[in-house]
Amino acid sequence: MAFSIAVAGKGGSGKTSMSSLIIRYLKKNGKGPILAVDADPNANLGESLGLVVPPEKTVGVVLDVFQRDKIDIPQGMTKEAYLDFKLNSIIIESKGIDLLSMGRGEGPECYCYPNLILKKFIDRLSENYAYIVMDNEAGMEHLSRGTTQDINELLIISNHSVKGVRTVSRIRELVTELKLRIKRESVVINLVPPQLDPVVEAELGRLGITPSAIIPLDKEIYEYDLKMRPLLELPDTSAAVKAVDALMSRIIAQDIKK
């Protein structure tokens, strides 16, 4: 059964970059095979990893086509088996990393059903991978849909702002309220200048939040993004890489102890 890591937080907190650096750590340290899941309808994890996702290769599009073409299901095949076959065909494969993108359908109210199907499909895939890393959409709605469920490590990301820290607090409250099956959660403050601003630090204290990691604002990530270079290619000297590697080493060590 795969060790699952989910990344959540407000928009602009750097969730996709964080997910990419986690995957970089796992791949570099031989922790594969890895399934990267882009659970954000505005999918861009593939670009961050240097993997091209054709528009038609998303869960949302497959479901659209399935709804239209279900009368043409091959004889002797159930709807569930046919849909499973179609979903398997959209996994983008690469050395050590496979990518599954949710995307979204064409019509209104297209998010909940793709999320439900994505969750069930990932559950079935988990036996084939050592690690699953899920980059979630911004905000908290995915939590209420149950997409972020049965997770070994939930990383709740905040940018260097009071609003981001308050969003972290609300996400933690929602996780408790919904009684989600999450074994462990960690708070990460991302995009931090040389030191935490006293206002942000005070808000963390007021809310009783102790960050598990502080990820520095890294100019190299910005430059790689501008040049459309995969974050997997960042050098070991990158400040953000060093911080994420240290965090992941602790997470892996904690899992081994158990």
pLDDT digits (tens, 9 = 90+) for 20-62: 999 999 999 999 899 999 988 777 899 999 998 888 888 888 8
Question: Three-state DSSP class for 133?
Answer: strand
CATH code of the domain in which 67 resides = 3.40.50.300
CA distance 125 to 142: 20
Domain of residue 34, residue span: 3-257
* DSSP codes joined into one string, 178-223: HT--EEEEEEEEEEE-SS--HHHHHHHHHTT---SEEEEP-HHHHH
For residue 151, give the H/E element and its range: strand 151-158
pTM of the model: 0.90
pLDDT digits (tens, 9 = 90+) for 133-151: 999 876 555 555 555 567 8
Helical pair 112-125 and 59-69, crossing angle rounded to 10 deg: 110
Query: What's the residue count for the chain?
Result: 258
CA distance 113 to 140: 17
pLDDT, tens digit only, all 258 positions of the chain: 789 999 999 888 999 999 999 999 999 999 989 999 998 877 789 999 999 888 888 888 888 777 776 556 777 788 778 888 888 999 999 999 999 998 765 554 445 565 667 677 888 888 899 999 999 876 555 555 555 567 899 999 999 999 999 999 999 998 888 888 889 999 999 999 998 999 999 999 999 999 999 999 999 999 999 999 999 999 999 999 999 999 999 999 987 766
* Number of domains forming the structure of the chain: 1
**Cβ contact 133:36 at 8 Å:** yes
